[in-house]
Amino acid sequence: MPKITYIEHNGSEHVLDVKNGLSVMEGAVKNNIPGIDADCGGACACATCHVYVDAAWADKVGAKSAMEESMLDFAENVEATSRLSCQIKVTDALDGLIVRMPESQH
């Protein structure tokens, strides 16, 4: 199973094995990791699963849909590497992925 590192805003690191096919958001929620609330359960409707994707992984996580882009436009603390983690599907290619959480979800 791909290993994903989730880093909370306060620096706490969680390294998890996440099943292929789940989203990066689901990997965090199912393991009760603080900082990724995912109120809408992955419907791309709430922007409470905002993460920063480590620069080295930017190309591998795929492109944002127009919907995700619009949601992120109005999320807090947005940066160039911001993504909604519910929109990133876990595959073997993401083994080693590192995501960080924004201050607004602290």
Partner 1 sequence: MSETKSGVVIIGAGHAGGTIAALLRQYGYEAPITLIGEEPLAPYQRPPLSKAWLKGEADADSLALKPTEFYAETGIEMLLDVRASAIDRAAHTVALHDGRTLAYETLIIATGARARSLPIPGADLKGVLSLRSAADAEELKASLGPGKRLAVIGGGYIGLEAAASARALGGEAVVIEREPRILARVACEILSDFFTAYHRARGVDFELGAFVESLSGADGHVNGVKLADGRTISCDVALVGVGAPPNDEIAQAAGLDCNGGIVVDIHARTSDPDIFAIGDVSHRPLPHYHRSFRLESVANALEQARQAAAAITGRPPPAPEVTWNWSDQYDLKYQFAGMPFEIDDIVLRGDPATAKFAVFHLTGDVIQAVEAVNAPAEFMAGRQLIAQRRPISRSRLADPTVSMKEVAA
Site residues (vs partner 1, CB under 8 A): 26, 29-32, 34, 37, 39-41, 43-47, 67, 70-71, 73-75
d(CA 88, CA 90): 6
CB of 93 to partner 1, least distance (A): 21
CB of 24 to partner 1, least distance (A): 15
Q: In the complex with partner 1, which residue's Cβ is closer, 37 or 54?
A: 37
